[in-house]
Structure 1
Amino acid sequence: MAPSLKGRVAVVTGASRGIGLGIARELVERGAKVCITARTPEPLAEAVTELGGPDHAIALAGRADDPAHQAEVVARTLETFGRLDFLVNNTGINPVYGPLLDVTAEQAAKILGVNLLAPMAWTKLAHDAWMGENGGAVVNVASLAGLRAAPGIGMYAVSKAALIHLTTQLGVELAPAVRVNAVAPAVVKTKFAEALYEGREERVAAAYPLGRLGVPGDVAGAVAFLLSDESAWITGQTLTVDGGVSLAGGL
C-alpha cells in the first residue's frame, strides 16, 4: 500500500492540469488536503471538482512569481486547513525556443523569476509560516534538462539546473526541520511539453529504454514518495524520473 498522507496539507503550484494536477490528485488519494494554484480561475475550479471538492482541495488563481499571490495562498491554506506540511514547486515556464545567446535579458529574467526565484520565495513563506517550527517537506519539480545540455531550451535548462542546486542548498540550510528534494522528469505527455513530441511520439519514445514517454502519474508517485515519511532520511537530492532515457544519453 502507498504510504498514507492523511492529515497532511500541501500547496501545489501550477496544478490546474498536467504534472501539477497529477501530483495534487496523488496527494489527495493518499489522504492529504491541497491548495492548488495556477494563473486561470476556470481550470482551477474544474480541478477542485475533480479532486473531490472543497473538503479536499481549495484553489487560488494568480501568478506564481507574484509576492502578493504567494502570501495569500499560504495564509488561506493555514486559515482553511490549519497547517502546511508540504510544498510542491511545480510551476515552470519556457516562453522561448532557440539558441541560448538569442534569449534577451528580459526573457531570461522572466524565466529565472518564475522557475527559480519564485520557488525560493514560496519555500521561505512556507518555512516562516509553519514548517520552520512544525516540520515539513518541499519538492521542486526540475527537469532532466537541468542535468545536461538541452539544445533549443537552453535558458529553461539553466533555470532548472539552478533549481536543482537551490534544492541542494536548502536541503542543508533548512535541515533538520524541513526536507527539500527535487524530481527531474524527462518528456512527460502534457500540454506544456507537446512541442517536444507532438506528431512524432513513437519516434521520440523509441529512445527511452522503458519504451514510452512519461505521464503525470509517473512524476506524481515520485513526488509523493519524497514528501512521505518513507523518505524521512532523504534531503537535498534530485530524483531522475525519465524512463531510462538518460542512460542512453538522450533527453
Structure 2
Amino acid sequence: MAIVTGASRGIGLAIAERLVERGAKVCVTARKPGPLQEAVKELGGAGHAIAVSGKSDDPAHQEEAVARTVEAFGRLDLLVNNTGINPVHGPMLDIDDAAAAKILAVNVLAPLAWIRRARDAWMGEHGGAVVNVASVAGIQASSGIGLYGVSKAALMHLTVQLAADLGPGIRVNAVAPAVVKTRFATAMYEGREEEAATRYPMKRLGVPEDIAGAVAFLLSDEANWITGQTLVVDGGLTITGGV
C-alpha cells in the first residue's frame, strides 16, 4: 500500500495509476481537494484510492495522510515523494530568502519528514520502499532554475544517506527526470516543444508515463537489491551535456 504526494495530476497521478495497475491501493495527496477527488475517480474509486489534501510541508498534513493510509489499508509499504515547487525563475542570487527557504522546505525537508513518518508508522518494523522524484537540474547547472536544482541535488544526496541509514529493511531510491510534459514544466517548452526536443537523443520530451514506469520498477520486488541510487530518466539529455 502506498502514498504518492503531489498526485492530483501529472507525474504523481501517473505513478499512482501504475501502482494501482500493479495491485496496490494508494493514498494520493495534493493541496486542492477538488482535483484530488477527480484523481481518486480516475484511479477506480474508493476501492483503490483515498485522498488527503494539504500542503506537503505541513506536519499536520503528513501525520494525517500517514495515519489515514494505515487505517484504510492496514499497512504502508511504499512512499513516493513527488511534490516539488519552483515558484521563481531567474538568477539564483536574485531569489529572496523567503522563496529560497520555501523551495528547500518543500523539496528537501518535506521528503525527509514523510520518510520519517512512514518509518515510524509501519516501515521501520515491517520494511518498505521509497522513491524520491528529483530532477536532472540537480545534476548539472540549469539556467533560471538554479535553486530548484540545488534542492534536487540535496534530495538525491538525502536519498543516498537514508538508504545507508535505513537498510536493509527500507530501500530508498530516486528518479531524475528531464523535462516532462506537465503543467508544472510548461514554461520549459510551451510554444517551442519541437525546438526543445531537438536537444534530446530520443527527439521528444518526456511524458508522465515514462517516469511512472521507472518509479514502479524501483518500488517493486524486481529492484530488491537496489538502494541509494538515482535513476536518470531523461531521453538521453544529460549524455549530450544539456539540461
Shorter-normalised TM-score: what interval? Answer: over 0.9
Q: Whole-Å Cα distance in 2 between the matches of residues 79 and 195 of structure 1?
A: 39
Show the 5 A alignment for 1:10-159. 10-159=2-151
The structural deviation recorded for 1:105 is 1.0
What's 1:203 paired with? 195
- Unmatched runs of 5 consecutive residues or more in structure 1: 1-8
SS in 2 for 1:208: coil
Q: Return the match for 1:229 from 215, 218, 221.
A: 221
SS in 2 for 1:169: helix
The structural deviation recorded for 1:211 is 1.2
Q: Deviations over 1:179-228 (max 9, x none)?
A: 00000000000000000000000000011101100000000000000000
The structural deviation recorded for 1:154 is 0.5
| Counterpart code for 1:234 | I
What's 1:247 paired with? 239
CA RMSD of aligned residues (A): 0.4
What's 2:174 paired with? 182
What's 2:153 paired with? 161
Q: Whole-Å Cα distance in 2 between the matches of residues 250 and 148 of structure 1?
A: 8
How many residues align? The count is 243
Q: Whole-Å Cα distance in 1 between the matches of residues 93 and 202 of structure 2?
A: 34
| Counterpart code for 2:179 | V
SS in 2 for 1:87: strand
The structural deviation recorded for 1:38 is 0.2
SS in 2 for 1:111: helix
Runs of 4+ in 1 over 2 A off after TM superposition: none
Instruction: Tell me the TM-score normalised to structure 1 length.
Output: 0.96
What's 1:173 paired with? 165
| Counterpart code for 1:56 | H
- Percent identity reads 71
- Unmatched runs of 5 consecutive residues or more in structure 2: none
The structural deviation recorded for 1:151 is 1.1
Instruction: Tell me the TM-score normalised to structure 2 length.
Output: 1.00
Q: Whole-Å Cα distance in 2 between the matches of residues 51 and 33 of structure 1?
A: 9
